Amino acid sequence: MVRYVVIFLIGAAPLMAEAKPPTVRAMLTFTPGYLTAAKTTTYGLGGELEIYTSGKVSMRSDGYALVGKSEQGGLKQNFQGFLGIVYNFDKLAGMSPFMGFQPGFGLAQMASPTYSDFRLMPVFSPFVGLHYFAETLFHFTLTFRYVYGELLYPTVGSVSMSEIRLSFGLGFHI
C-alpha cells in the first residue's frame, strides 16, 4: 500500500509543482449561460487571450459565439467580443483567483420575421474566476460572468440580452 502511495506522489509531483507566472495565456471554453429576460439556457463556445504585465494586473480579450439554446424562437445568433483588465490575486493552494471588467460589443440576430437583421450592440461584463496552472504549459480555468447588453430595434424597442454565464476550459500558457 505504501508503495502505491509513493508511486502516486512521484507521478503527481509535476502537477503540484509551483509554476512561474505566465506571460501569455490562451484557451478555448465551453460556456453555458442563462438569458435572464427570456429565461432560456444557452450553450456557447468562447476563446480567451490574456497578456500578463508586471504586477497583478493583466489585459484580457474574450470572444463568444452562441451554438445552441434550450428554447425555440427568440435569439437566433449571438457573437460577442470583449477587451478589459483583470486583477490577479495571490495564489491560494495552487489556485489563482481573479476578477475583472470588460466592455465590448455584440452582434446578434433575433428569430423573428419582424426584425431578423443583425444588430450591433454595446455590452459590458464583470467577472470572477479561478485558474489552476497544472503544468508548465497547461491550465484549467473556471469563470463566472454577468453580461449586460440590449438590442435596439426601431419598431420594437429594446430586447434585453442580459446573461449569466459559467465558462470552463483547458488552455496553454507561456
Query: Rounded to the nearest 5°, which phi and psi values hold at 109?
Result: -140, 135
Element (H, E) at 129: strand 119-132
User: Which candidate, 55, 135, 125, 134, places its Cα nearest to that of 89?
Assistant: 55
Q: Rounded to two decimals, what is the model's pTM?
A: 0.82
Mean pLDDT of the chain: 85
Domain ranges of the chain: 20-173
Q: Which CATH number fits domain 20-173: 3.40.50.1980, 2.40.160.20, 3.40.630.10, 1.10.1660.10?
A: 2.40.160.20
Tell me the residue type at 151: L
Q: Which amino acid is at 119?
A: R
pLDDT tens per residue, range 65-107: 999 988 877 788 999 999 999 999 998 877 899 999 999 999 9
For residue 133, pLDDT beyond 60: yes
